Structure formats: C-alpha cells, structure tokens
Amino acid sequence: MLINECFNEYIASWGERLLYVIVFFITAFRYNIGWDYQPYVKKYIEMEWSSIDDVLNGEVEFVYYIIVNILKDCGFDTQMFFFVYTLLTLSLFYFANKRYFSSYKVRCIAFLIFLFSPHLYMESLNIVRQMLAVALIYFAYGYWEKGKKYTYCLFTMLATMVHLSAAIGIVIPFVPRKKFNIVLYLICFGMFIYIYQMDIIFSVIEIWAERIGVDVSIIKYAKYLHSNEQTLPVFMIGFDITLFIFIYLFSGKQCGKFLNMMIVVMGFFICASYSHVLMRVAYYFLIFYIIPFCDALINVPHRSLRIFTLGVLMIYSLLLINGNMEARLKLTNVPSSAYNYEYDYNLSLIK
C-alpha cells in the first residue's frame, strides 16, 4: 500500500503484481488451512472417471469432476488441486479489476479490499469451488456492461458448471441502478435487524409443522444454528451500516447498482443465521461492493482517511474471523480433521 501511495504508476504496477504473487503462493501452497481442506482431500482421493453418475445427479459439478480427474491422471496429488483453483480464481479477479479500474493504484486498493473484506479472500480458503464461480461472475459482468449480454450468459452457464449456486448470476444484471435516498436504505437496515431478532418465527413454524405432521428436525437445527452462530452480531451490523453510509456519501451516482447489491447482501446475511444457503448466494453480490468502495476511496480528499478506512476494514475482518472461529468451536466441539459435517453432527445431537 505504501508503494501504491508514494510512487508513480509504473512502480505501483509492479507493486500490484507483487501483491498478487505473494497472495498466490500463500494460498496455492497452504497445507491443512481452511475448514474444508480435509474434506477436499477426501473427495480428491475418492473421485474417479466412473463418478460421472454423481455429476448427472447434481452431486458434483462438471468442471470440478474434469479438473480433479485430469490432475489425478497426470499423477498430481491434492496440492495441485488447490494450486489450479487458486491460479484460476486470482487470475480472473486480476483481469476483472483491469477491466473495472484503469489505474494501477486503484486496482491495488481493490485487491487490498478483497483481502481484508470478510467473506471474500478468507472465505476462498474454505469454499474453493464456489469462490472460483464468484470470480467468474465478477469477471463476466464487465461484458454485460459493454452490451455483450450473450457473452455474460455463457460465462454464467460456465460458472454454474463450476458451482451450481452461480445460477443466481443471471439475476445480478437486473438489480436496480437507481441510487435511492439514504433514508430508504436505513429503513431497510432497520427491517433486517428486526428480522434478525425474530426467533419467534421459528417457534410458530415449528408448532404448525408438528400439527400437520411434518418432520421438524431441520427447523430445530436452524434454531440451534441461530442461537450458537450469530453471523452478524450487533456491532458488526453497525459497522456494515457505517461502511455503507461512507460509500453512499463518497461514491458517484453510477454506483447506485452496487449500493443496492450491498443491501441485498445485508438481507441475505441477516437471514443466513437461519440458512447457510442464503450466505452462499450472497457471495455473488458481495464481491461487487469492491467497485463502489474503490470509487468512494478515490473521492476521499485526504490520503490519511483512505489509509485509516482500509485499516479499520482490516481490523473488522480480523474480529469477524475470530468470531467465526469461536462460533465454529461452539457449534461442532470436535477436531476439524474428524471428517464429519456440521449438519449431520448437530442434527444427530438434536434428535
């Protein structure tokens, strides 16, 4: 970041490349890092060309099936799987930023935001396949902005073959472009916070489900998740609102679409404590908040405020990581290498 701020564009361009290289080596050659690292090792060992039925049944994505089997035929172990996925994900992000930002300095800041933002880089160490799909959607949206709608749709189809959740990408171009009044946005935040506190919803659903004879174990599991894994504690919601207001005040009118995406993300994350599926969907909108954030930072008149803002974002990210680790320990209370998934484990406890 110091190279970015203190030197000219040419030197800053090498600073940007160096940043990507450092992060690439850290990510591609990590060992036993990430909640899903061991499950990926297990899946890699078990995957065979004969597993095509899993692809046809929707249990395994086609691109994942192809990459793993080609790597195994070449004699590579699991480490090469992480190498390839890291290379593809960071490359797509790099070329997407080149499309969205003409300045090397701004692109460097965009990558720093990607590193520090909760649920982006750190989450890429866990949801390896989905983060590649997210990077594809982020890269492809530039084609839609240039009027190449069919190209964007083709990339969305490809992303769906990387991870099925990427089908939500077809909705992204239709998010409203208008930048609404700040009061309307604050009302939305208030509604989200209210919904977040409404545990009574589950109690009502549980009562009626029992009356009509529906299995309520999944509802009990959702209640258990919500009570033990608070996805967005109050102080984190407050920070997100503050960050949103910062972007609202300093970003241009053309960023209205991305501000609306931030509202969508907040809504998904508020409800994610009831369903992790919604959090998975939110990533495809969350990645785009980098664009208005960069726009806002560019419009901030003082360098010190830009550095301060990035520093606060980094601290917030560390707090969230720490909070998620503590929540995970409470939720599972088992070693991460035990090969058991949260759902099966906790559902068995509830039953």
- For the segment 342-346, the average pLDDT, to the nearest whole number, is 46
pLDDT value at residue 287: 92
pLDDT value at residue 94: 93
pLDDT value at residue 109: 83
Which pLDDT band, with edges at 50, 70 and 90, does 275 fall under?
A: low
pLDDT value at residue 57: 80
Q: What is the pTM of this model?
A: 0.80
pLDDT digits (tens, 9 = 90+) for 65-104: 999 999 999 989 889 999 999 999 999 999 999 999 888 8
The CA distances from residue 240 to 176, 243, 263, 289, in Å, are 21, 5, 10, 12
- For the segment 280-296, the average pLDDT, to the nearest whole number, is 89
Write the CB contacts of 178 (distance below 8 Å, at least 6 apart in sequence).
256, 260
- Residue (of 343, 327, 313) closest to 121 by Cα position: 313
Residue at token pair 């691109």 = 63
CA distance 47 to 50: 8
CA distance 185 to 306: 24
> Token pair for residue 175?
């998010």
- For the segment 324-349, the average pLDDT, to the nearest whole number, is 50
- For the segment 41-69, the average pLDDT, to the nearest whole number, is 86
CA distance 69 to 304: 50
CA distance 18 to 2: 13
Which of 257-261, 286-290, 333-337 has the least mean pLDDT? 333-337
CA distance 153 to 148: 9
Counting runs of H as helices and runs of E as strands, what totals does the chain give? 19, 0
pLDDT value at residue 43: 87
- For the segment 313-323, the average pLDDT, to the nearest whole number, is 75
pLDDT digits (tens, 9 = 90+) for 200-255: 566 666 676 767 776 666 666 555 555 554 444 555 666 778 888 888 888 887 88
Give yes or no for a contact between 265 and 149, defined as CB atoms under 8 angstroms apart.
Answer: no
CA distance 324 to 313: 16
CA distance 144 to 150: 8
> Token pair for residue 36?
């899903």
pLDDT value at residue 300: 81
pLDDT digits (tens, 9 = 90+) for 159-193: 999 999 999 999 999 999 888 888 888 888 887 77
